[in-house]
Amino acid sequence: ENLIAEGLAEAVSRFPGIVGTLDFLDDHEQPLDVRLDQAWRALSAEMVPMRLFFEVFGLAAHHPGRFDNYLHSVGHEWTERVAKALRVDGVPAADARLLGREIVALWRGLQFDLISSGERRANDATHTAAARSITSAWWFRTSRKLSPR
C-alpha cells in the first residue's frame, strides 16, 4: 500500500505544475474565483497524474483499511488546506470547512469528467462558472448576514 502511494507521490512530483497547485490559493491579492481557476488549471494540466490518482483511489475503495493514509491525505488534507485559505479571506471556520469540501469535490468531479470525456474547454468553463458561483454565493451570504443554508 505504501509503495503504491509513494509511487503516486513520485509520479506527481514529476509534474511541477501540480506540486504547487494549492499555493495559488494563498495569493490573497487575487480574487477568490481567480485563485480557484488558477488552482484548477494547475491541477488538471496533466492527464497522467489524474489517471493515477483515480486508479489508486479505486484500489483504496476496493481494499478498505489498506490505503488509510492515502485516503486521509486526499480526503482531509486538501479540504483543510482550501479551508485555511478561505479563513484568511475572512470566511468563518465552519463555513470555510463546508466551502473547502465543496471546492475539493468540484475539482474531483471535474477531474473525473475530464478523464472520461476529454472535454478540456467544457470542464474549464464549468469550473470558472462554479468558482464564480461559489464566490458570489459566499459574498452574498456574508454581506447580508444570512445563514449559509
Dig out the grid coordinates for 96 from the structure. Answer: 470555510
Longest dimension (CA), the chain: 50
Residue 127: count of CB within 10 angstroms of its CB? 23
Mean pLDDT value of segment 38-59: 87
pLDDT value at position 128?
96
This prediction has a pTM of 0.83
Please, which pLDDT band fits residue 51 given cuts at 50, 70 and 90?
confident
CA-CA distance, 58 to 66, in Å (whole number)?
A: 12
pLDDT at 106: 96
